[in-house]
Homo-oligomer: A and B are copies of this chain.
Amino acid sequence: MLLATKSLFENTKNLAQKDIDVVLTSTSDNSKYLASIVSELAGISPKISHSVESLCNSGANSVVSAFAYIAAGLADIALVVGAERFDSPGRILEWDRSRGEYKHPIYWSSMFTKAHMRKYGTTKEDLAIVSAKNHKNATANPYAYFEKEYSVDEVMQSKNLTEEIRLLDCSLPCSGSAAILLASEETAKKYTSCPVWITGIGEKTISAGFTKNTDLTTMQSTTHAATDAYKMSKMQASNVDVAEIHDAFTICEIIELEDLGFAKKGEASRYARICYETQDRKINPRGGLIGSGHPLGATGIAQIAEICQQLQGKAEKRQIEGAKVGLVQNMSAAATSSTVLILQS
Contacts and interface: CB of A to CB of B under 8 A. Distances in A.
Interface of A: 23, 28, 30-37, 39-40, 45-55, 58, 61-62, 64-65, 67-74, 89-90, 93-95, 201-209, 212, 224, 228, 332-333, 336-337
Contact of A205 (B46, B202, B224, B332): B46
A32 B89 contact: yes
A98 B195 CA distance: 40
A49 B204 CA distance: 8
Contacts of A39: 205, 207-208
Contact of A45 (B32, B55, B67, B204): B204
Given A46-B205, A68-B72, A205-B46, A35 B51 contact: no
A54 B36 contact: yes
8 contacts: A35-B54, A36-B207, A48-B61, A48-B205, A49-B54, A50-B52, A51-B51, A68-B69
List the 9 shortest-distance A-B pairs measured between CB atoms, nearest first.
Answer: A71-B72, A50-B54, A36-B208, A68-B68, A68-B72, A51-B53, A37-B208, A40-B207, A49-B205
Best-buried of A33, A39, A51 by chain B (most CB within 10 Å): A33
A39 to B, nearest CB: 6
Given A33-B95, A72-B71, A95-B32, A205 B54 contact: no
B201 A45 contact: no
Contact of A332 (B36, B70, B93): B36
Contacts of A51: 51-54
Nearest to A62: B50
A47 B228 contact: yes
Contacts of A93: 33
Given A73-B71, A206-B45, A333 B36 contact: yes
Instruction: Choose among A89, A207, A208, A212 the residue with the greatest number of B CB atoms under 10 Å from its CB.
Output: A208
A74 B69 contact: no
A201 B47 CA distance: 10
A89 B30 contact: yes
Contacts of A62: 50
A208 B40 contact: yes
Nearest to A39: B205
Contacts of A52: 50-52
Given A34-B95, A35-B205, 16 more contacts: A31-B95, A32-B94, A33-B54, A33-B208, A45-B205, A46-B205, A47-B205, A49-B337, A50-B58, A52-B52, A67-B72, A67-B74, A68-B74, A69-B72, A70-B72, A71-B74
A94 B29 CA distance: 14
Nearest to A212: B40
Nearest to A70: B72
A55, A205, A336 — which one has the most chain B CB atoms within 10 A of its CB? A205
